[in-house]
Amino acid sequence: MEDIFDTVLVRAAGISAGHPLAGVLSGRSNIIELTEKSHAAALKPEPSGGLTHSQRAALACRMARLNQEVELAYHYESMVETVDVSIADPRFDGADNPRLKTIIRHTDLVTRSPKDAGEDDIRALESAGIPVEDIVRLSELIAFVNYQVRVAAGLRLMAAVS
């Protein structure tokens, strides 16, 4: 069994084993452990598919920044290789790389305003040459990070009133 206080989520939320919320969190240790396993599955799958681990981390860092989630952005930034640093910058749009541009556009749209994502947005990924496996992997990465940033934000607010 994992030490739940040594997981990406709980460390980012700033909750240690001696914290007043430690007991409450331990009551849902199975969820914290599955969140950590999901982090590994979305960020560091082997084989990595159409996006490298560093590119996934860069997109995750970008999404954390779009959510103004400083601690998780810092965590993801540490997993990004120099060549991919620009992807993590929300002002960078993919420049002259059409495939990357489409991936970044989709990531930003589904992070900020999933209600506005439609059929055309999936067709745009296909037109950029992204196979169905990678469309689903990208979707899970986006969805997971947007879950994780909200749990971290919620835990921090819980800690603030504990």
Q: Determine contact, residues 113/91, Cβ cutoff 8 Å.
A: no
CB closer to other proteins out of 46 and 96: 46
CB closer to other proteins out of 82 and 160: 160
Alpha-carbon distance of 83 to 97, in angstroms, equals 14
Q: Give min distance, CB of 135 to other proteins, in A.
A: 6
Q: Give min distance, CB of 48 to other proteins, in A.
A: 10
Question: CA torsion angle for 49, 60, 63, 150 (degrees, to 10)?
Answer: 110
DSSP-derived secondary structure for 75-111:
HHHTT--GGGGGGG-TT---TT-HHHHHHHHHHHHHH
Alpha-carbon distance of 71 to 47, in angstroms, equals 28
Q: Give min distance, CB of 150 to other proteins, in A.
A: 4
Footprint on this chain of other proteins (rule: CB under 8 A): 21, 24-25, 27-28, 30-31, 34-35, 37-38, 41-42, 45, 66-69, 110-115, 117, 119, 121-122, 126, 132-133, 135-137, 139-140, 142-144, 146-151, 153-155, 157-158, 160-162
CB closer to other proteins out of 1 and 82: 1
